[in-house]
Structure formats: structure tokens, C-alpha cells
Amino acid sequence: MLTLILLLFLGGAIVTWLGNKLSPVVGDLLFLATIIIPAGMFFTGVTVGEVTHLHALGLTLTWGLTPLSYLFSMIVVGLGILLAIYAVPFMKGKQKTGAFYFNFTLSVMSMLGILVSKDWVSFFIFWEIMTWSSYLMVVLNGKDVQRVGIKYFVFSAIGAYAMLMAMVIMNSQLGSFLLADTFNNFQHLTTGNQILIPILLLVAFGVKSAMMPLHVWAPDAYSNAPMAYTGLFSGALSKMGIYGMVLVMVTMINQLPEGTLIRDIIAWIGGFTAAAATLWAITQDDGKKLLAWSSVGQMGYIIVGVAIGTPLAMLAAMFLVVVHAMFKGSLFMVVGAIEKQTGTTNFTEINGLIRKMPWTFISALISVIALAGIPPLAGFVSKWMLYEALIQNNNYILVILLFFASTAGFLYCYKFLHGYFLGQEEPEWAHVKEAPVAMVIPMVLLALGNFVLGTFPQLIFKPIDAAMQFAGYDATGGRLWGESVLFTEWGDVVTLQPILYAVLAVFVFFALFLWFKGTKGTRYVSTKDISTSGELPKEWENLTFKVNFMQPFERAIEPFLKRQIDKYYTAFGNGMEALFEFTRRIHTGNGQTYAIYAILFLALLLLFRVNLFG
Amino acid sequence: MVGTPVLFIAIPLLAAFLIPLIGMVWKESVRIIPGLVLAYLLVLAINLLSYVTVNGPIVEVIAGWAPPIGINLVFNAFSGFLVTIMVFMGLLVWLYSYRFKSNVEYEAARKYFLLLMMLITGSVGIVLTGDIFNMFVFIEITSISGYALTAFYTGRDSAEASFKYLMMGSIASVMLLLAIMIIYSQLGTLNMADVASKMHLMDPKLKAVSFILFVIALGIEAEVFPLNGWAPDAYAEAPGPVGAAFSGIVVKAGVYALIRYTYTIFDLSGAFNLLIIIGLITLVVAEVAAIRQEKLKRMLAYSSIGQMGLVLVSFGIGTKEGVFAALFIMLNHAIIKPLLFFSGSYLVYHSKKKMISDVDGIGKLAPLTSILFTLGAFAIVGLPPFAGFWSKLSFLMAAADSNMLLVIGLILSVSVVELVYYMRVVNRIFFFKRTTSLLTRRPTFNAYVVMIILGLMILVIGFYPDSVSMYLHNAANSLFDKSQYIHSVLTATIQ
């Protein structure tokens, strides 16, 4: 069944691509069928524990679903379906639709493949398919491909090769590529390898989950990919790094005497990622970039949770994994819709879309509240659990760091919401209409999901609990949420209910207020509709207040922002290229030099004859 | 048995002589005869390969003199495997260049196909022969036709490239002769099996010296750094299919010779380390140079050299898995690199300088060629699920089993470099705006067929690597079984 599903994705990708050459409509239909049919089969036909074997080159590839991968595959498949529906109107009239559909399907397939892989070889195969299909998405729009695309691919390749190295070492030492074998027999490795392998694997997974200092590809890659894909990219694809990290943390690091130290280091890196990425997000003027940095930051929270690794921290991380996929998926869809309708995503150009794109606004509003971690939405639940876990674990300084990140996060959340939807209405955007229904429905659904999970988090506690028991947290007896003061015995948020109703009441009251007030002759003004000291603004002047929106703040954090690691990587890359250029000059193009090389080589070998051959 | 190994040498050589004669009567025949010959040889090679899989190696004695006195040809799983690849590549090169560029005219076509037949004869001879001096002769045949093919376009640059090749080739010949002289003076025999069985009698000092001379001479053919200066020029200036033939056929023969000397004939313990060292240096320098190239074909040439470095490292591991991986890399390289050369030379067809920047945005104008090029690029850097991945994986497994962590680390870092320069080209093809006004050229029907066959092979091996692994295992075993090689040659009788 698993094999069939993956084959359907693969075949569907190719058929869609060919079908799109025939006619765009055929391509659209095939694309939807390709995503939805195997996804439906996955929901109905696959059971946890089912195992398939394949043979290649004397190796056995084992595929099967575990509770942990089931949790992640729900994200992949769910987000995949919604984004596929969204993508069809999004890609309408754009170029390279066929390539988009092809890579989209392959990405979904490869992520599912990673999750069902029970051995490192198939894990790596799917990992690389995921890398190159997402790479082709990043460069799809042809903008800045040599810099952004190559940066993404180089970092991915470093990660992938680190994994490759780790897996061949494990195979040669332990004689098996099976994940379970390598985890269970981890103690049989030499001490050096016991340190080396987790580090290699953490590098591999750290790259995909955009952990600092391996994150530099992420902001550019997220914002460069088509928005209909970025939801999947940030929501599901980067979670594959988290999935791997959970595996490594729980199984390998726990067996190491130095485990606590590594855990602390990773947790601090995660905390730092969260804080720094948040600051970067605040300074962005482009919604895509803002969300991209915000994604990096959110991954930082998740990494902290995974690294701390107490049951509650893990629960918080897993919860945030699910929730982040929902609100970030929705937000990227919002940006995509705005891009589709207005042609730009820059805050300083767009104003006051609230009346033109109300549904987009509502999903943005709900998702942003979830992103900021304000009760009663799902983001709050996960962050609360994370803080609680950290305090229980006596990581007070880390809590302060995360709290700072979270609070600073309000700034960009506000900027995002205000930037697109509020403010004066410009005549320039008078023609803008709400996005097509097929784009609105997925994003509203995802946004509502945040609401549902914020109120009834117990809905996903069961799968998370099963996943964590599988991963080795069976001591909690299936009641993980009991660790937190937030929940009752049944995983209900009874403690939250008063807050929830209070907040709802405020909202309802505010809405009523606006509605009454709005009906009484509100005059909508544009930014040019002013006169200061009798001075009329010029046509070209950009008076939207989002120009230099947070200047004082930016000035305050400027010394920090100057220290970009990206610069050092670029310098390193340039240095290497210079070195390569120098090496290239060895081949002078002069035949006489080549002859001398041959003679010198002969002399050299004769000279070291004794060392070589004894 | 449907034929004997000697046909691999006799038939193409005869065809090469007959081409101009029959051409006088029927002009089209200069194009058709090579194809027929190569197709027949391919069938023969496959038949013989399945025969030796069951019945053990075929040793053919030439001219009625039994080994070790006479010359003999050995067709075993290892050499047969390489011969099959070479003949297959030869057939594809023939099909591709059936009406390629200047081949359209009779005069040029006659020379081209004549030389191509000679090239294949020589390369196949190097692999099949069981005699050291005979191998020297075949190396000369290969090289001389190689010089001429390099200069096929008769321009200034091609002449220069050809001259460099000629110069290095002459150095190689001198070294080879010196090495052969040392061996003959010491052991009094030139039959490989005989030499191998008597090698322990040789003075260790002279043994090392003659091995070094062999390494230099064959290193020039196998494009080992720092002896490979001629290669990028030759690849870049020769016609596209000739570049493919060099990387798919000639270099394979050079590597084969180097391996045969290291594994079978000499018994030097340090030889494997030497292979690893020169392989690594070759790999690193070539990949690093490739990233700074501005011409497409030169880039491919350096990449090809780098792959050969990897093959040498893999052979240098010295285990059966290592040999298996090396043969797998060679097979993949023989499939993928010609695809890159074929499609690449159509991508820059009308460009004067053949710069990489001339492919900007060509993906829209020549979609199929571009996709095939991309497929080749993905495959050669080892991205799954394409062919190159499995060879890379088996190489890394072999290296890890021998605890060569540093080698693994170095090769993987170099792989990143390799990835960068291939992706840069792919980016240019699909995601850049077309800046030049150069027209694209539709590949001929034959060229399409060849490129699609190669592309399909990449996919087949990628999805089902077991389709070739049996042959690779047999070949690896046969290379390792030195005593069987010696025994089967020395007990061969005249048939």
C-alpha cells in the first residue's frame, strides 16, 4: 500500500507535467487528482505498523509507518491537500506551471517517503529527492537564482552529505542500515563515533530545520519560492529536520554521557535562533521575508523543546510543530493571495486591504494571533507548555530569552497585520478584489484550525502521545498533558475557559462597536488626503507610515544586526573561489609545462619510491 | 559460443581499412558499415559475457603460439564487462554522429568513421590483450587515432590541442617502452600472466621503478593529475561525440591498464595507497578547476577527469566492495558523461566560443535537450533516484568498511563543489533570461534516440540498480582472482 501510494505520487507527478503541456486545465485536474487520490488512500488504507520490504543492490529497504511518523505525515498530507487546492488558482496564468506541479507532488511524495523510511538508505534517497525538488521550487521564479538557489543547495548538500557519512559509518560498524538497529546498538560504537555520528546527524537535520548558524539559506529560499509552495516548505518540509532531530535526540543523545551538555548547547542554539530571527523579522519590509524569518524563529522554539526533551517540553514542541504548520501555512497563503491580487508584497506599497479582502484579513488575523502566542489560540497553548517545561527544568535564563523573542514577536505580528490590511486606502489599490474562493477556503480552514486546537488541544494530544510513547516516553503513561497546569485530567483547557470567554466577549463587543460606528458616515481617506501647514504632498512621496516603520527600534538593534554570519559565509565562499581559480591555473594551457609536470611527477615518485613501496 | 574474442579486434580493424575502399563505390557505406560492425560486436560481447559468467574465462591464443610465448586475448568477466561498455558506447557515438556537423560531407565522414573504428579497436585491444607489448601497440593505435580526432575540425585551437595530446602521448610511449624493457630484461617474458607469476623473482628496486614508469605512462592515458594537462583541451576542441568517446571509451581503457598492472601483474603493497593518493589529488584538482571554467565542454572535461580520480580512489581501497564501486562508477560515468557531452554540445551548438553563459534560458527553446542535460547533471552528482547515487553509495560503503573517514570527508566536500558547478549550469538553462540572439539547433533524430536511450538507462539503473549489479559483482570477483587468471592463461591450449 505504501509503495503504491508513493508510486502514485511519482507517476502522477510525471503525468501531470506531461498533461500540463497538453492543456493547462488537464494539468490542473491531474495535479489535484495526483495529490488527493494517494492522500485519500493514505488516510484510509495505511495503518501504523505496516511494513514493506524492497531490495536494491543487496540492501533491504524497509518502509513502514510508526506513530511518530504518523503524526508528521498528517501534517504533510493535510497541508499538501490544502495547498494543492490553493495552488491551482494561484498558479493560473503563471509560467512554469508544469514544473511547479511536478516539484510540488515530488516534495509531498519525498516527505512521506522520509517518514515511512525505516532504514537510512531510503531515508537518504527521499531526503535528497526532497532537497532537489524544493530547490527547483526556490529557483522557479528565476530571481537571484545563482545566489539564493546555490546557497540553499550547498547548505542542503552539506547536511545531506553529513547524513550520508554518518549512515555509512554506522553501517560499517553495526552492519545494518535499519534505523531501529542503529539506535538500539548505538552503544556498540566506539566512543569517537558515538560523538561523531550524532553531531553529523544534527548538522544534517539542523540545516533543514534552519538552526543557526546553518539557517542562512532559509529566509531567501522561503521568500523566493512560490507562495503556494512556501506554506509546505516552511510548514512541512522544515519539519523533516525536526523529525530527524527528535529521532537523534531521543535515541542517541540520551545514551551518551555527554548528552546533557549537547542538549543544553542545542537548546541554547534554538533559543538564540528564536530571538535573533525575530529581530530580523521585525526589520523586514516585505511580507514574504518577514514570514520567512518568523519561520526560522518558530523553528527555534521547536528546537528548544526538542532539545530540552522532558516529556512536557517534547509535548510542547510537537504541539508547536502541528500548530506552526497550520498558522504559517495560512499566513503564507495570505501573502500569496495578496501577491496574486496586487502584484506586490511590500508593506510600504500596499495599504488598507481590509475592506477589499475581508476573508484574507480574517485568516491573517487569526493566524497572527496564533503566531504571537496570544490566548485563546493554539500558539498560546504550545508556548505556555514550553515555558512551563523550561521552568520545571530550571532553565530560567533560556526562558527569559524566549520570552524576549516572543514579546518582540508581537512587533512583527503587528507589522504584518497592519502593513497589509489597515491604514488609509490608496486609490491605487481600488481595483483589488478578494482572492478566488479556492484560495480563500484553504486559508480560512487552516486559520480556523488554530482556533479549534486552541480551545480543544486534546484533539491532537492522542496522536502526539502515541508518537512520544513510541519515541521512548512511555513513563508518562499516556497522560503527558498532566505535567502542565493548563489542562485538566482529560486534556481539557478548563483553566483557560474564563479567559477564552472574556477574550471572545471583547472581540464581539469590539466588532459590534465597529459595525455601529461604521454605518454612520465613515469617510475613507488616502495618504495624500492631508495638508500639513498648508503643504501639499507631492505625487511621488510615499506617505504610508510603514516607511521606516520601526526606525528607533532598528537603530537600537543595529549593532546586533551588523553581525551577520551570512557575510562570513560569503567571504568564505569567495575565498574558496579565489583558491580554486589559483588551482585552475596549474593547467596553464602550455604543452611544455605539461611535459615538465610529467617529468617532475616521475622524479617525485622515484624520490619517494622507498616510502611508497618499501 | 558464437564467436571468439579476436573478432573484437579483427573486425573493426578490417572495417577501418575497407571503409575508404568501399566508399569509392558506394559513398553512404562509410556511414553504415561502422554501425553494422559495432552492432554485431555488441551482440557478440553480450553473448560472450553471458558465456563467461557460466563457463569461466575465455583465453584465446593467437597465431598458434601457446602462452607465454605467443600473444593471447583474455575475455573474462572483468575485461568482458569493460568491452561491452566500450562497444556499446561506440555504437551510441556512431549513432549520434551519423550526420553530425561536418560529417555531412563524404570526405570528412570517411576520415571520421575510419578514425573512430581505429579508436575503438585500440581501446578494446588494450582491455582484451594478455601481453604487455601488445598492449603498448594498442595504446599507440588508440592514441594516434585520438590525436587525429582531436584535430578533426582543423582549426588553430584544435591543432594546438591535438599537438599537446601528441606530446604527452609521446612521453607516455617512451615511459611505457622503458618499463617494458625493464620487465623483459629481468623476467624474459612479456605475457601478463607469466610476468605476474614470476614477479616475486624481480629485484624490488627495479620492480618499483618499472611500476612507477607504468603509472606515469598509463596515468597520461587515464588522465591522472598532474599528467592530464592535455585532456581538457582535447575534450573542448574535439567534436562533441569524440569527447564522449574519449570519456566513455579511451579513458576506460587507460584506467583498465593501470588497474591490471596494480592488481594482477605487480605485487607491490604500496601500490594501492599510491592509487588513493593520485586519485584524490586528481579528483580535488579537477573538480576545483571545473568550477572556474567558462566553457561548457571544458567544464565537462574536468568533471570527467574528476570522476576518473574517484574511480582510482575506489580501486585503491583494495577490497572487493571497492572494486565493485569503482566498476559501478565507471559504468555510470560511461552512461552519464556521454549524455552530458551529447546534449551539451547541442546546447552550445551555434555559439562560437561555447561559453557556459550561452546556454542562458535555452530551456524554453530546446526543452528536451535541456531536460536530458539536467537529468545527466543530477545523475552525475549522485542525486537519488538516479544512477549516480547507487555508485556513490557503494563507494562510500566500501570506504567506510575500510575505515577511511578522512577520504570520505574529503570526497563529500568535493562533491559539494561538483554540485555547485552543475547546478549553476542547470540554473542558467532554465531560470535565466535569454541574453544572446543565438539560435538553437534541433538535434538530429539519431541524436535524440541516443540521448533518450542514455536517459532511460540512467532512470533504469537509478530505480532498479540490481539490473547491473550481477555483472559488476562477477567482474569484481574476476579481477580479484589473480591465481585463476594466471592459471587459465598459462594452461590455455591452441584451439
Query: Are A552 and A600 members of one domain?
Result: no
Rounded distance, CA B335 to CA B337, Å? Answer: 6
Same domain, A456 and A407: yes
Cβ distance of B274 and A55 shorter than 8 Å: no
**Does residue A575 share a domain with residue A486?**
no
Percent of chain A predicted with pLDDT > 90: 8
Average pLDDT for A128-143: 88
Using DSSP, state whether A441 is helix, strand or coil.
helix
- Secondary structure of residue A309 in the 3-state scheme: coil
Band the pLDDT of A205: cuts 50, 70, 90.
Answer: very high
Contact A593 B401 (CB under 8 A): no
Does any CB of chain A come closer than 8 Å to the CB of residue B204?
yes
B positions 145-174 inside 8 Å of A (CB): 160, 163-164, 167-168, 171
- The DSSP result for B144-196, as a single string, is HHHHHHHGGG-SHHHHHHHHHHHHHHHHHHHHHHHHHHHHHHHHS--BHHHHH
| Shared domain check, A484 and A414 | yes
- Structural contact between residues B377 and B336, judged by C-beta atoms closer than 8 angstroms: no
In this complex, the residue of A55, A606, A614 whose CB is nearest that of residue B269 is A614
C-alpha cell at B116: 573512430
Mean pLDDT across A217-231: 87
Domain-located, residue A554: yes
Quick one: A554 and A593 in the same domain? no
Residues in A closer than 8 angstroms to B403, CB to CB, are 172
Residue A493 has pLDDT above 60, yes or no: no
Tell whether B385 is within 8 A of chain A (Cβ): yes
Instruction: Put residue B96 in one of left, alpha, beta given phi > 0 → left and psi -120 to 50 → alpha.
Output: alpha
Contact A153 B420 (CB under 8 A): yes
**Given this model, what pLDDT does residue A489 score?**
53
pLDDT greater at residue B353 or residue B168: B168
| Residue of B158, B332, B360, B427 for testing the chain A interface, max A β-carbons within 10 Å | B427
Are A172 and B393 a contacting pair at CB < 8 A? no
Q: Do B273 and A612 touch (CB under 8 A)?
A: yes
Q: What is the pLDDT of residue B100?
A: 64
Whether the Cβ atoms of residue A351 and residue A544 lie closer than 8 Å to each other: yes
- For A8-18, write each residue's pLDDT tens digit: 888 888 888 88
Q: Which residue of A57, A135, A140, A606 to mutate against B (max B Cβ within 10 Å)?
A: A57
Q: Is the pLDDT of residue A357 over 70?
A: yes
Q: What is the pLDDT of residue B71?
A: 83
Residues of chain B contacting residue A129, judged by C-beta atoms under 8 Å apart: 383-385
pLDDT at A242 over 80: yes
Give domain status of residue A17, yes or no.
Answer: no
Higher pLDDT, A525 or A87: A87
How far apart CA B304 and CA B282 sit, in angstroms, is 11
Give the residue from A413, A241, A203 showing the smallest Cα distance to A317: A241
Whether residues A360 and A370 share a domain: the answer is yes
Give residues 26 to 65 of A whose Cβ lies within 8 Å of B: 55-58
* More confident call, A335 vs A477: A335
For the stretch B58-78, pLDDT in tens is: 888 877 777 777 788 888 888
How confident is the model at residue A417, as a pLDDT?
Answer: 86
Residue A224's pLDDT band, with cuts at 50, 70 and 90, is confident
Q: What is the pLDDT of residue B365?
A: 83
Confidence of residue B373 (pLDDT cuts 50, 70, 90): very high
Residue B428 CA, distance from chain mean position? 29
- DSSP state, residue A61: E
A276 located within any domain = no
Calculate the average pLDDT of chain B. 86
| Cα–Cα dist B69/B490, whole Å | 10
Task: List the one residue out of A88, A136, A90, A91 whose CA is nearest residue A110.
Answer: A136
CB-nearest partner of B167 from A584, A591, A609: A591
> With DSSP H G I counted as helix, E B as strand and the rest as coil, what are the percentages for chain B, rounded to 5?
75, 5, 20
Same domain, A599 and A456: no
Hunting for cell 597465431 — which residue is that? B63
Quick check: A423 and A543 in contact, CB under 8 A? no
DSSP state of B48: H
Q: Is residue A10 domain-resident?
A: no
Contact A37, A8 (CB under 8 A): yes
Across the interface, whether the CB atoms of A613 and B204 are under 8 A apart is answered yes
Q: Is residue A450 part of a domain?
A: yes
Residues A449 and A569 reside in one and the same domain: no
Find, among A424, A418, A330, A339, the residue nearest to A377 by Cα.
Answer: A330
So what's the pLDDT on residue A533? 64
Nearest C-alpha in B relative to A598: B227
Reported confidence tier of residue B178, pLDDT bands at 50, 70, 90: very high
CA of A191 to nearest chain B CA: how many angstroms apart?
15
**Confidence tier at A383 by pLDDT (50, 70, 90):** confident
Residues of chain B with Cβ-Cβ distance to A142 below 8 Å are 431-433
pLDDT tens profile A433-481: 888 888 889 888 988 888 888 777 777 887 888 888 887 776 555 566 6
For chain A, helix (H) and strand (E) counts, in that order, are 24, 2
Among A142, A168, A581, the residue with its CB nearest the CB of B432 is A142
| DSSP secondary structure string for all residues of A190-255 | -HHHHHHHHHHHHHHHHHHTT-TTS-THHHHHHHHS-HHHHHHIIIIIHHHHHHHHHHHHHHTGGG
Tell whether B273 lies on the interface with A, counting CB pairs under 8 A: yes
Among all residues of chain A, which has the CA nearest to that of B288?
A580
| Of residues B285, B288, B385, nearest to A129 (C-beta) | B385
Contact (CB<8Å) A595/B401 = no
Q: Look up the domain containing A512 and give its range.
A: 282-518+546-563
Residues in A 93-132 with any Cβ partner in B closer than 8 A: 121, 124-125, 128-129, 131-132
Residues A56, B408: C-beta atoms closer than 8 Å: no
- Residues A341, A405 share a domain: yes
Nearest CA in chain A to B424: A146
Of all residues in chain A, what percent carry a pLDDT higher than 70? 93
Between chain A and chain B, how many beta carbons pairs sit less than 8 Å apart?
Answer: 170
For residue A116, tell me if it sits in a domain: no
Q: What does the pLDDT read at residue A68?
A: 86
Hey, are the CB atoms on B427 and A124 less than 8 Å from each other?
Answer: no
Kindly state whether B291 is in contact with chain A, defined as any CB-CB distance less than 8 angstroms: yes
By Cβ distance, the residue of B167, B220, B424 closest to A146 is B424
The answer to whether residues A10 and A106 touch, using CB atoms and an 8 Å cutoff, is yes
**Residues B67, B70, B72: CA angle, nearest 5 degrees:** 70
Exposure class string for A574-598: b at 16+ Cβ within 10 A, else e: eeeeeebeebbeebeeebeebbebb
Q: Which residue does chain A place closest to B266, by CA atoms?
A: A613
Q: Report how far residue A53's alpha carbon sits from residue A62's, in angstroms, rounded to the nearest whole number.
A: 5
- Radius of gyration of chain A, Cα coordinates, nearest whole angstrom: 26
Instruction: Note whether B311 and B298 are within 8 A (CB).
Output: no
Query: CB distance A591–B204 less than 8 Å?
Result: no
Whether the CB-CB separation of A553 and A282 falls below 8 Å is answered with: yes
Do A509 and A578 lie in one domain? The reply is no
Q: Do B289 and A56 touch (CB under 8 A)?
A: no
A125/A213 Cα distance (integer angstroms): 25
Which residues of chain A lie closer than 8 angstroms to B206, CB-CB?
A: none
Q: Closest partner residue to A145 among B293, B403, B427, by Cβ?
A: B427
The C-alpha atoms of residue B279 and residue B268 are separated, in whole angstroms, by 17
Minimal CA–CA distance to B342: which of B416, B254, B452? B452
Q: What letter would DSSP give residue A434?
A: P
Domain co-membership, A559 together with A448: yes
Burial B117-146 (b: 16+ CB within 10 A, else e): bbbbbbbbbbbbbbbbbbbbebbebbbbbb
Which of these, A48, A36, A44, lies nearest to A9 by C-alpha position?
Answer: A36
By C-alpha distance, the chain A residue nearest B407 is A165
Residue A32: C-alpha distances to residues A5, A27, A102 (Å): 15, 9, 12
Q: Is the dihedral of CA B312, B313, B318, B321 positive or negative?
A: negative
* Helix axes B156-187 and B132-150, enclosed angle (nearest 10): 170
Kindly report, residue by residue over B398-451, the tens digit of the pLDDT. 998 888 888 999 999 999 999 999 998 988 888 888 877 777 777 888 888 889
Q: What is the mean pLDDT of chain A?
A: 83
Task: Write down the pLDDT at residue B374.
Answer: 92
Contact yes or no for B73/B128 (Cβ under 8 A): yes
Looking only at the bridges linking them, the beta strands covering A51-56 and B58-61 are: unpaired
Instruction: Compute the Cα dihedral for A141, A144, A150, A153 and give only its sign.
Output: negative
At residue A274, what is the residue type? A
Q: Is B108 on the interface with A (CB under 8 A)?
A: no
Nearest to B212 among A125, A135, A602 (CB): A602
Burial grade of A227 (CB within 10 A; 0-12, 13-18, 19 or more): buried
Q: If you average pLDDT over residues A249-267, what whole number do you get?
A: 83
Residue A220 lies in a domain: no
Please tell me whether residues A332 and A431 are part of one structural domain: yes
CB atoms within 10 A of CB B269: 11
Tell me if A147 sits within 8 A of A209, measured CB to CB.
Answer: no
Q: From the CB of residue B239, how many other CB atoms can be counted at a distance below 10 Å?
A: 21
Q: Which of residues 567-606 of A touch B (CB under 8 A)?
A: 577, 579-581, 583-584, 586-589, 591, 593-595, 597-602, 605-606
Q: How many domains does chain A have?
A: 2
A419 within domain boundaries:
yes
Alpha carbon distance A17, A457 (integer Å)? 40
Average pLDDT over residues A115-137: 90
* Angle subtended by helix axes B156-187 and B230-237, to nearest 10: 130
